[in-house]
A and B are shown apart, each in its own frame.
Chain A
Amino acid sequence: MTLDHFPQGPQDASYAPLVKGDRVATPMYEDPAIFDVEMEKIFGKTWVWVGHESEVPDKGNFKLSVVGTQPVIISRDRKGALHVLVNRCRHRAATVCEIKKGKTSSFQCPYHGWGYALDGSLRGVPYTEGYNTDFDKKDYGLKKLKVETYQGMIFASFNMDVEPLEDFLGNAKLWIDLFMKQGGGFPVKTLGEHQFKVPMNWKIQLENTTDAYHFPVVHKSFMQSLDGEATQQFSFLEDDDGWVEDLGNGHSVMVMMPELNDLDDNLDAPIPERFEALAETLRADYDEAQVRRIVRAVGGCGFNLNLFPNAACSLSFFRILRPVSVQETEIRHIALGMDGGPEAANQMRMRLHEHFQGPMGFGSPDDAEVWERVQRGSAGAGDLDVMVNRGVGLEDTSPNGLPKGDISAETGMRAAYRKWQEMMA
C-alpha cells in the first residue's frame, strides 16, 4: 500500500443519528473513528476548560494542560496576560516544556535550541545563517489558542471564531458565581489535585457528574463511613427537593442539597456539630459573622454543575476529564480552598477532599470500577442502545424557564448528548 492510498476516515460523515433523544448508540463508547471526529468537531471547536488562574498566579508562571488530546502550555507573560500555546516546537515538533508547572522567562526547545517567549513568539534560532533571507521568525511562533476566563476558570479554544465564552456558558454563569462563594470571602484557589486514569470512554464520565441515581448504590461504603449528620446530607435521593436542570449548550446542573446552593444564605443557622471544632479554632482570629461564613464555605456547595464537554464544578472541587483514546480517559479532581484564608479551614477542605476523592478515596475507586464496567459491558450486544430515558415525560419547567427533571432524572445526560449531536452533525 502506498501512502496515497492510506485509508481515510469517512469524509463529512454525520454521527448525529447515534443520539436518539432518550438513548444513545453503543458505538459512541467503542468506535475509534467516532473518537477522532469528536476530537476535531467538539474538542477542536468549542471552549475547553484548561486550568484555574490560581495555578498560574504570577508573571512568568506556566502550567501544562491539554485540549482534547493536544498538549498545551498555559502561561502568564511579563505583562500578566494569559496565553494557551500548543506544546510543539515549530521546527520539528518536539515539546518545548515537560515540567508540569513552574516559573520561567522563556521556553527553549531541547532539540535544536529554538527559544520562545512566554507569549509564544519565536525569539531565538541558533545558527540562523543556515536559513535563507526570507526566513522570518514572526512566522514560527508557537500555535496559539483563543483564551478567555470566567471567575478564574481558564478556557481555551482552537476555534478563533468561537462565540464569546460568556455566551457559551450562558445559564451556567449563575451557578459558577454561586460555586465560587466557597472562598468564604477569600479568592478561591486550587490546593492540589488527584489524578487517575480509567479504561472508559470520556462520555461515561461526562454522564456521571449529572447522575444522582448511582449515589446510594455505588457510594454505599462512603455513606457508611460518615457520621449521622453527614449521612443525612447525602440522602438526597430520599428527599424530594433536588432537581436536574438543562442549562442549554450541553451544560446542566444537578441540585442535591438546595439549602447549600447559596452559601451566603442561612448564616444564622446553627453550626453543624462536625464543624464545631473548626468554628472554635476560627473564633480566635475572626468575628462570629466571618466564622459562620467560612465554616459554611468549608462544607462546599450543594450542586454539581456540568460544563460540556470537559469540566464540572462538583460540590466542592473541579472535576476535569481528558479524553485519551476511545477507551481511555484521565480524570483530575482538583481541590479548592481559600487564598489567604485560615489554615485550619483549608486543612479541613483538604481532609474532606481526601476522604471521597482520588485514586484511594472512599468514593472515586468505586466510581472508577463502575465506569470500567460500563466500558467492558459495551463490548457485548453492540446493537443495543444505552438508555438515558430516566425522567422522560416527567419533566417540567424550572423557574428560569428551562427543562427540569427530578434529582435522579437523566435530564443532564440528554442535554449533553443533544449538544454532542449538534456538534457532530
Chain B
Amino acid sequence: MKDMTTDSKITLDAAVQFLWMEADILDRNDFDAWLPLWHGGHYIIPIGDDVTDFANNLNIAYDDADMRKARAARLSGGFSISAAPPARTVRTVSRFVITEEAPGAITIRSALHVVEDKFGRQRMFAANVEHKLIATENGIRITQKVVRLLNSDGMLTSISYLF
C-alpha cells in the first residue's frame, strides 16, 4: 500500500482484500479500526430498491462522518442495552462486480450475508452492497457505501451492529 498515490489503479484483488478486511473489522465490532477506513462521504442503508436520491428520502441509516462517529460511540460505549452485549455476527462478502473504474477509483458491488446471534436465536440478513473506493497515499479509502437490504421496505428486526 505504501506506494499508492491518488491515481493508482485499484485492482479487483486489492479492492476485494480491502472489503474482506472491512468485513472482519465489522464482525469484531472494532469501530476504532473502521472509522479511519473512510474518506468523507455517507454510509447509507436506503429503504426500497430503486432509491438514488438518498438525501430526499427516508433511510434506515444516512450517516456522514459525524453520525458514523456517534454511531460507533453508541455501539461501543456500553450504555446501549441493545449493544451491551451486542449480537454476535458472522458475515461473508462475495460475488464482486466492478461497476465503475477510473484512475484512483473503483465502484464495486458485492453480495453480503450476515447471520446474527442473540439470546440463542439466529437471524439472517442479505444485501447488495455498493462501495465507492478511492486510492489515497494511506491506502484504499471508502467514499460511499450503500447497503441495500433485501426487504428494506418491509418488516425488519432491530439491528445493533453495522453492515
Interface residues of A (CB under 8 A from B): 100, 191-198, 218, 220-222, 224-225, 330, 335, 343, 346-347, 350-351, 353-355, 358-360, 362, 364-366, 368-370, 372, 376
Main SS of chain A's interface residues? Answer: helix
Q: Are A191 and B60 in contact (CB-based, < 8 A)?
A: no
Q: Are B61 and A360 in contact (CB-based, < 8 A)?
A: yes
Q: Are B60 and A221 in contact (CB-based, < 8 A)?
A: no
Q: How far is the CA of A362 from the CA of B66 in the complex (A)?
A: 14
Q: How far is the CA of A359 from the CA of B59 in the complex (A)?
A: 11
Q: How far is the CA of A224 from the CA of B159 in the complex (A)?
A: 19
Closest to A190 in B: B58
Q: Are B58 and A360 in contact (CB-based, < 8 A)?
A: no
Contacts of B70 in A (CB 8 A): 225, 362
Q: Are B56 and A195 in contact (CB-based, < 8 A)?
A: no
Q: Are B57 and A192 in contact (CB-based, < 8 A)?
A: yes
Q: Are B81 and A195 in contact (CB-based, < 8 A)?
A: no
Q: How far is the CA of A218 from the CA of B155 in the complex (A)?
A: 23
Interface residues of B (CB under 8 A from A): 45, 47, 55-62, 67, 70-71, 73-74, 77, 79-83, 119, 153-160
Q: How far is the CA of A234 from the CA of B56 in the complex (A)?
A: 27
Q: Are B81 and A370 in contact (CB-based, < 8 A)?
A: yes
Contact of A343 among B56, B61, B73, B158 (CB under 8 A): B56
Q: List 29 A-B contacts (CB under 8 A).
A: A192-B47, A194-B60, A196-B155, A197-B156, A198-B158, A218-B81, A221-B74, A221-B77, A221-B79, A222-B74, A224-B74, A330-B155, A335-B58, A343-B56, A347-B56, A350-B57, A351-B62, A353-B58, A359-B157, A359-B158, A359-B159, A360-B159, A360-B160, A365-B158, A366-B81, A368-B158, A369-B81, A369-B82, A369-B158
Q: Are A196 and B157 in contact (CB-based, < 8 A)?
A: yes
Question: What distance in Å separates the Cβ of A304 from its nearest Cβ neighbour in chain B?
Answer: 20
Q: Which of A194, A225, A330 has the most CB of B within 10 A?
A: A225
Contacts of B158 in A (CB 8 A): 196, 198, 359-360, 364-365, 368-369
Q: How far is the CA of A48 from the CA of B156 in the complex (A)?
A: 23
Q: How far is the CA of A354 from the CA of B55 in the complex (A)?
A: 11
Q: Are A360 and B45 in contact (CB-based, < 8 A)?
A: yes
Q: How far is the CA of A370 from the CA of B84 in the complex (A)?
A: 12
Main SS of chain B's interface residues? Answer: loop
Q: How far is the CA of A70 from the CA of B133 in the complex (A)?
A: 47
Question: What distance in Å separates the Cβ of B14 from its nearest Cβ neighbour in chain A?
Answer: 30
Q: How far is the CA of A370 from the CA of B83 in the complex (A)?
A: 12
Contacts of A354 in B (CB 8 A): 58-62
Contacts of B157 in A (CB 8 A): 196-198, 359, 368
Contacts of A225 in B (CB 8 A): 70, 73-74
Query: Contacts A360-B60, A360-B61 known; A196 to B81 CB distance under 8 Å?
Result: no
Q: How far is the CA of A193 from the CA of B45 in the complex (A)?
A: 13
Question: What distance in Å separates the Cβ of B111 from its nearest Cβ neighbour in chain A?
Answer: 20
Question: What distance in Å separates the Cβ of A282 from its nearest Cβ neighbour in chain B?
Answer: 16
Q: How far is the CA of A224 from the CA of B58 in the complex (A)?
A: 23
Query: Contacts A195-B156, A224-B79, A359-B157 known; A376 to B119 CB distance under 8 Å?
Result: yes
Contacts of A347 in B (CB 8 A): 55-56
Contacts of A368 in B (CB 8 A): 82, 157-158
Q: Are B155 and A195 in contact (CB-based, < 8 A)?
A: yes
Contacts of A376 in B (CB 8 A): 119
Q: Which of A221, A351, A353, A376 has the most CB of B within 10 A?
A: A221
Q: How far is the CA of A225 from the CA of B80 in the complex (A)?
A: 11
Contacts of A100 in B (CB 8 A): 153
Closest to B161 in A: A360
Q: How far is the CA of A362 from the CA of B158 in the complex (A)?
A: 11
Q: Are B57 and A365 in contact (CB-based, < 8 A)?
A: no
Q: How far is the CA of A198 from the CA of B158 in the complex (A)?
A: 8
Q: Are A193 and B160 in contact (CB-based, < 8 A)?
A: no
Contacts of B58 in A (CB 8 A): 191-194, 335, 350, 353-354
Question: 13 other contacts beyond A197-B157, A368-B157, with CB at 8 A cut-off?
Answer: A191-B58, A195-B156, A221-B77, A221-B79, A222-B74, A224-B73, A335-B58, A351-B62, A353-B58, A354-B61, A360-B61, A368-B158, A370-B81
Contacts of A218 in B (CB 8 A): 81
Q: Are B47 and A359 in contact (CB-based, < 8 A)?
A: no
Q: Which of B55, B77, B81 has the most CB of A within 10 A?
A: B81
Question: What distance in Å separates the Cβ of A370 from its nearest Cβ neighbour in chain B?
Answer: 6
Q: Are B82 and A362 in contact (CB-based, < 8 A)?
A: no
Closest to B62 in A: A354
Query: Contacts A354-B62, A365-B159 known; A224 to B77 CB distance under 8 Å?
Result: yes
Query: Contacts A351-B62, A354-B60 known; A366 to B80 CB distance under 8 Å?
Result: yes
Q: How far is the CA of A222 from the CA of B82 in the complex (A)?
A: 12
Q: How far is the CA of A355 from the CA of B66 in the complex (A)?
A: 12
Contacts of A194 in B (CB 8 A): 47, 58, 60
Question: What distance in Å separates the Cβ of A208 from its nearest Cβ neighbour in chain B?
Answer: 14
Closest to A218 in B: B81
